[in-house]
Amino acid sequence: MPELPEVEVSRMGISPHVVGQTVERITVRNPKLRWPVPEEIRQIEGQVIRKVSRRAKYLLLETDAGSAIVHLGMSGSLRVLPATTPPEKHDHVDLVLASGELLRYNDPRRFGAWLWQTADEEHSVLGKLGPEPLSEAFTADYLFERAQGKRTAIKQFIMDNHIVVGVGNIYANESLFSAGIHPKQAAGKISRQRMGVLVDEIKAVLAFAIKQGGTTLKDFKNADGKPGYFAQELLVYGKGGEPCPRCDKPLSEIKIGQRATVFCSDCQK
């Protein structure tokens, strides 16, 4: 599943091709995505895309009338192609641009979404989201205060979008390892100082992943539209049983919240 860095790199990839372009029409071949594609999304026709922004894992194609909200789900991707390019089996939505190109959404599993919000409202899917992890609002004090009294495992806690958005499974594993915090540690038992270390590591890990994707980003025109997980230098994720990069003890792998969790029982307390 695309995580925050992959979505951010998608934003970076499509922005040069769509910002400033007029949407001539939207073609919805299959409205049955995670949620039905609303008829109101046709309000984007005739509008100029002013900006492509991101909130959590949602991309917003912003116009004066409102914003198309796009979520890539588990298998979705965006490509910029010539407007005459024939659609293939899983190409569900096209935005045809005045430039002679189109923005095409492909999603084999159809667990993504295309939604619409008018300029004077916030869609319900964006409400109640926590702060962006790379923003100034995400601090040690904030995370410590939100954790008070919580028995939830810290890994599940930081993966909760109501607490902070976009810390998916890969980056939760990596951040907790770098911070030396055991993933099963109760969130409410972690000191303010250690929360500060964790916040710093979350920011560093995500920023590094975005940088890696940005430096290897290919032109989204005629590309496969999938930044993937880049050539990341992952320390623990997917490496259960391998030597810890710090102490050489075999890394442990368990399930927390049904998600694969890899950690070092010596280095993480």
**Residue 209: what pLDDT?**
87
CATH code, 93: 3.20.190.10
**Mean pLDDT (whole number) for 104-121:** 96
| 214 lies in the same domain as 179 | yes
Banded pLDDT at 220 (limits 50, 70, 90): low
55 annotated active-site: no
Residue 161: partners with Cβ closer than 8 Å, 6 or more residues away? 56, 129, 130
In a domain, 246, yes or no: yes
Q: Which of 42, 110, 246, 259 is catalytic?
A: 259
Give the domain-ending residue among 125, 153, 180.
125
In a domain, 134, yes or no: no
Closest CA to 95 of 72, 76, 114: 114
Residue 259: partners with Cβ closer than 8 Å, 6 or more residues away? 155, 159, 169
Question: Mean pLDDT, the chain, as a whole number?
Answer: 93
| 166 lies in the same domain as 223 | yes
| 169 lies in the same domain as 220 | yes
**Residue 69: what pLDDT?**
98
| 61 lies in the same domain as 175 | no
Q: Which residues define the annotated binding site for DNA?
A: 90, 109, 150
212 is in which domain, residue-wise? 140-263
In a domain, 130, yes or no: no
In a domain, 57, yes or no: yes
Q: Where are the beta strands (DSSP E) in 32-167?
A: 51-55, 58-62, 66-71, 77-82, 91-97, 101-106, 113-118
Residue 263's alpha-carbon distances to 48, 192, 266, in angstroms, are 47, 22, 9
| 97 lies in the same domain as 180 | no
Banded pLDDT at 75 (limits 50, 70, 90): confident
Banded pLDDT at 234 (limits 50, 70, 90): confident
- Number of structural domains (the chain) is 2
Give the domain-ending residue among 97, 125, 153.
125
Residue 209: partners with Cβ closer than 8 Å, 6 or more residues away? 5, 171, 230, 232
**Residue 232: what pLDDT?**
62
| 83 lies in the same domain as 168 | no
| 175 lies in the same domain as 241 | yes
**Residue 149: what pLDDT?**
97
Beta bridge mates, 71: 58, 113
6 annotated active-site: no
In a domain, 74, yes or no: yes
5 annotated active-site: no
| 46 lies in the same domain as 106 | yes
CATH code, 234: 1.10.8.50
Banded pLDDT at 114 (limits 50, 70, 90): very high
| 87 lies in the same domain as 183 | no
**Residue 216: what pLDDT?**
53
Give the domain-ending residue among 125, 158, 190.
125
Rounded-to-integer distance, Cα 132 and Cα 100, Å = 35
| 93 lies in the same domain as 44 | yes
In a domain, 268, yes or no: no
| 104 lies in the same domain as 216 | no
Q: Which of 2, 5, 133, 183 is catalytic?
A: 2
3-state secondary structure of 66: strand
189 annotated active-site: no
In a domain, 133, yes or no: no
In a domain, 131, yes or no: no
Q: Which of 57, 79, 104, 194 is catalytic?
A: 57
- Per-residue pLDDT of 79-107, as tens digits, reads 999 999 999 999 999 999 999 999 999 99
pTM: 0.90
Work out the angle at residue 48's Cα, subtended by the Cα atoms of residues 43 and 54, and round it to the nearest 5 degrees: 85
| 99 lies in the same domain as 182 | no
